[in-house]
Amino acid sequence: MAPPLLLLDDIRLTFGGTPLLAGAGLTASAGDKIALVGRNGSGKSTLLKIAAGMVEPQDGTVFRQPSATIRYLAQAPDMDGYATIRAYVEAGLGPADDPHRATYLIESLELDGEASPHNLSGGEARRAALARVMAPEPDVLLLDEPTNHLDLRVIEWLEGELARTSSAVVLISHDRRFLENVSRAVVWLDRGTTRRLDKGFAHFEEWRDKVLEEEEREQHKLGRQIGREEHWLRYGVTARRKRNMRRLGELQSLRERFRSHKGAEGTAKLVASEANESGKLVIEAKSIGKAYDDVPIVRDFSTRIARGDRIGFVGPNGAGKTTLLRMLIGDLPPDSGTVRLGANLEIATLDQKRAALDPNETLAHFLTDGRGENLVVNGEERHVVSYMKDFLFKPEQARTPVTELSGGERARLILARILSRPANLLVLDEPTNDLDMETLDLLQELVAGFPGTVLLVSHDRDFLDRTVTSTIAPLESDGRWVEYAGGYSDMLAQRKEAALTAKRANAPKAETKGKPEAAAKPASSSRKLSFKQKFALESLPKRMADAEKSIADLEAKLADPALFARDPAKFNAIAADVAKARDGLSAMEEEWLELEMLREEIEG
């Protein structure tokens, strides 16, 4: 096994009398791709800051390889003091680092290097911060919520970059698909301690559930053992006093173990307050359009949304998802076309920027709108503290100002408020940001089972696949939007099929382009494939299968976390072989597709 570049062992840290970390650990070697997971507030970001040297633990061992470079991506990067984005990114480079790497990342992340970093959107700031920490190709890369505010195109690009890098990567993210595609190991931070699974995130939830079940069984066995010992002390045969005292001491130890055990943290209870049923037709849009400064954002878009539909909106940042959504619910008038809203609509909205939150307002005041200590949820009057517990807030937080909440707590607070209001149309703009896995699961169940209608903007591919009935996405950058049946993966499949169909339709035209005399002649019934073409058509599927197996074998070698540390030249050579094999496979697929279309044309 490769020596660790980073080692944290038995880390302990207490804030305000409550232990946050009570024996946590983390080890990262060259090539490791580690997902650090846990509930909101469990200490994940704090552990990552300790690894980066930004926070000192009260106890425990912290080892960083002296020659190793470590870069940390914060949730809120500080760009003060830099005149341009390029200056900010290049400040992350060391004396021996390649400055062209910074240029490559700025261009790949579609940033303007000469722009000021002080007026960036959330997505642009996140991309600039990623470019800065990735530019030096550090030995250890610590990423805290790297996908927040990124659109799907950039998330998929980032997945590819992290898969190719030889850096050890430790990342915190709420995006399941991202974690599944990047991670090869999982460190679970739970109740102050850590456990490690040397498999990717796809295996985590099954493993976690088994660990919790085994823990529950052990606690049950301990309770029964205490009961037996107490019975012996009361009714057993009197033995030597010394032996009695020993067993009494053991009983006290067992009781202490039983009392000190902290069970798994509770889960939030997400239940939407139901309003009267809306009409069957919820929204009808006919040929709506919107443009800013003569740039079309939405062009000639029509849709009918019925009661019970769950519609997902996806697309790059700035494509106009929120603009289209606001037009559909009547918040923004279209420049052209009409929008008709159905009868009896009661709308609850979660906006992307959490604008409804006043940082100086207390949790209780925010949930009740300042109307005393109670609120009505689903026709039942409840005390605000009782309702807060459903969303994992502690009673003492009722008087806490919003400004002191973490990002995840703010997301839960907004959800608590909108779900307490009667609604039959939920409008959720990036609802998954900052939520932990358990709360995401419950939100997913809520959206999937909501009896009304849901309009949902999200970059979380897994969440979209599990919840929505159709997906609306931009076709090009000219304002055209298309609705697809199913979730994100269904949309990709339909787009791929449409592209293949268009290619087949255009193939005969491409062959006759520039040859009008050939186009004018009817196809000869005697036309057939050449021997060479027939041989290629028959042999290509086996060659493609062999190429796929070869690529899989090479990628399995690259997956060895110790390979880069042991033999960097071999690692780079295999990576080059993988790229070459993929190019060859792509060429074979293209050739086979062209021959197959030609065969269909002749036979047809």
Tens digits of per-residue pLDDT, 549-582?
Answer: 888 888 788 777 677 767 777 877 887 787 788 7
- In 342-440, where do the E strands start and end? 347-350, 374-377, 380-383, 425-429
- What would the mean pLDDT of 54-66 be, rounded to a whole number? 93
- pLDDT exceeds 80 at position 401: yes
Confidence of residue 418 (pLDDT cuts 50, 70, 90): confident
Residue 552: φ, ψ to 5°: -60, -40
Of the chain, the percentage scoring pLDDT greater than 90 comes to: 35
Residues 6+ apart with CB under 8 A from 433: 148, 149, 174, 352, 407, 411
Q: Are 574 and 480 in contact (CB under 8 A)?
A: no
User: Among candidates 321, 319, 320, 341, which has minimal Cα distance to 329?
Assistant: 341
Residues 252-296 pLDDT 10s: 665 666 565 565 555 556 666 656 677 788 999 999 999 988 889
Q: Are 486 and 306 in contact (CB under 8 A)?
A: no
- pLDDT exceeds 70 at position 405: yes
Confidence of residue 16 (pLDDT cuts 50, 70, 90): low
- 359 annotated among ligand-binding-site residues: no
Residues 333-371 pLDDT 10s: 999 999 999 888 888 887 755 556 788 888 888 888 888
Residue with tokens 């994992």: 392
pLDDT at 301: 94
Measured CA to CA in angstroms, residue 33 lies from 107, 117, 198, 587 at distances of 25, 30, 10, 31
- What would the mean pLDDT of 26-52 be, rounded to a whole number? 91
Confidence of residue 517 (pLDDT cuts 50, 70, 90): very low
Class of domain 522-603: mainly alpha
Q: Which two tokens stand for residue 370?
A: 């300042």
pLDDT at 400: 87
Between 502 and 69, the higher pLDDT residue: 69
Of the chain, the percentage scoring pLDDT greater than 70 comes to: 85
User: Among candidates 188, 184, 150, 14, which has minimal Cα distance to 73?
Assistant: 150
Which residue type occupies 298? Answer: V
CATH code for 6-206? 3.40.50.300
- Indicate if 281-492 has the same CATH topology as 6-206: yes
> Hey, is 86 helix, strand or coil?
helix
- 319 annotated among ligand-binding-site residues: yes
- 113 annotated among ligand-binding-site residues: no
- 378 annotated among ligand-binding-site residues: no
pLDDT at 604: 59
- pLDDT exceeds 50 at position 525: no
- What would the mean pLDDT of 150-166 be, rounded to a whole number? 90
- 38 annotated among ligand-binding-site residues: yes
The domain limits of the chain are 6-206, 215-260, 281-492, 522-603
Output b/e per residue, 376-412; b: 16+ Cβ within 10 A: ebeeeebbbbebbebbbbeeebbeeebeebebbbbbb
Global pTM value: 0.68
Distance CA 242, CA 441 (A): 54
- pLDDT exceeds 70 at position 511: no
Mean pLDDT score across all residues of the chain: 83
- pLDDT exceeds 50 at position 518: no
Distance CA 538, CA 27 (A): 50
- pLDDT exceeds 60 at position 238: no
- 44 annotated among ligand-binding-site residues: yes
- 307 annotated among ligand-binding-site residues: no
- 42 annotated among ligand-binding-site residues: yes
- pLDDT exceeds 60 at position 242: no
- 317 annotated among ligand-binding-site residues: yes
Which residue type occupies 457? Answer: V
- What would the mean pLDDT of 105-114 be, rounded to a whole number? 91
pLDDT at 275: 60
Between 60 and 258, the higher pLDDT residue: 60
Three-class secondary structure assignment of 3-67: CCCEEEEEEEEEECCEEEEEEEEEEECCCCEEEEECCCCCCHHHHHHHHHCCCCCCEEEEEECCC
pLDDT at 515: 46
Q: Which two tokens stand for residue 172?
A: 């915190």
- 318 annotated among ligand-binding-site residues: yes
Residues 77-99 pLDDT 10s: 888 889 999 999 999 998 888 88
Confidence of residue 423 (pLDDT cuts 50, 70, 90): confident
Residue with tokens 């798994």: 264
pLDDT at 28: 95
Can you identify the CATH homologous superfamily of domain 281-492?
A: P-loop containing nucleotide triphosphate hydrolases (3.40.50.300)
- 60 annotated among ligand-binding-site residues: no
- 399 annotated among ligand-binding-site residues: no
pLDDT at 276: 66
Residues 287-323 pLDDT 10s: 999 998 888 999 999 999 998 999 999 988 878 898 9
- 584 annotated among ligand-binding-site residues: no
pLDDT at 344: 86
Between 121 and 17, the higher pLDDT residue: 121
Strands 168-172 and 18-28 turn out to be unpaired
- 561 annotated among ligand-binding-site residues: no
- What would the mean pLDDT of 576-599 be, rounded to a whole number? 78
Q: Are 414 and 267 in contact (CB under 8 A)?
A: no
Q: Are 289 and 437 in contact (CB under 8 A)?
A: no
Confidence of residue 236 (pLDDT cuts 50, 70, 90): low
Distance CA 381, CA 348 (A): 20
Distance CA 110, CA 24 (A): 38
Confidence of residue 509 (pLDDT cuts 50, 70, 90): low
